[in-house]
Chain A
Amino acid sequence: MDTRSTQLLKGTLDMCLLATIAQRPCYGYEMVQQLAQQGLDLVSEGSIYPLLSRLQHSGYIESYLVASRDGPKRKYYRLLPAGAKQLEQWQAEWEMFAQAVEHILKGARSDAQSRAAYPTTDC
Chain B
Amino acid sequence: MHRAEQHTQQRIADLVDACAGYWELRGIAREHITEMQLELEQHLQQAVSDGKSLEAVLGPNPAAFAEAWAREMHPHFWRGGAVVLHALVYALSVVSTSALLSQLLAHAPAFTFTLFAAYLLTGSGLLALLLQLGGFLSPRISTRAGREALMLTGVVLAVLALRLAGLTVNWSMALLSWSWPMTIVLLVLAAFLFSLDYWLSSNSEPPSTASANWPALRAVTMFVASVGVFDVMMFVGSVAVFDFCQLALRLV
Contacts and interface: CB of A to CB of B under 8 A. Distances in A.
Partners in one complex: yes
A45 interface: yes
A49 interface: yes
B56 A45 contact: yes
Band of interface residues on A: 20 to 34
B153 interface: no
Interface in A61-116: 63, 65, 71-75
Interface string B56-79: 111100000100110111100000
B122 interface: no
Given A45-B43, A73-B38, A57 B65 contact: no
B172 interface: no
Interface string B26-66: 00000000011011101100110000100111110000010
A29 B42 contact: yes
A71 B39 CA distance: 12
Given A29-B46, A75-B39, A44 B57 contact: yes
Given A44-B59, A75-B38, A50 B43 contact: no
A89 B47 CA distance: 33
A45 B40 CA distance: 11
Interface residues of B, number: 22
Q: Pick the most buried of A28, A45, A51, A74: most chain B CB atoms within 10 A of its CB.
A: A45
A50 B68 contact: yes
A30 B179 CA distance: 64
A46 B65 contact: yes
Interface in A18-65: 27-29, 32, 43-47, 49-51, 53-54, 57, 63, 65
A75 B71 contact: no
Contacts of B46: 29
Given A46-B58, A46-B59, A57 B74 contact: yes
20 contacts: A27-B39, A29-B42, A44-B55, A44-B65, A45-B43, A45-B52, A46-B58, A46-B69, A47-B65, A47-B68, A49-B39, A49-B40, A50-B68, A50-B72, A53-B69, A54-B72, A63-B35, A75-B35, A75-B38, A75-B39
Interface of B: 35-36, 38-40, 42-43, 46-47, 52, 55-59, 65, 68-69, 71-74
Interface of A: 27-29, 32, 43-47, 49-51, 53-54, 57, 63, 65, 71-75
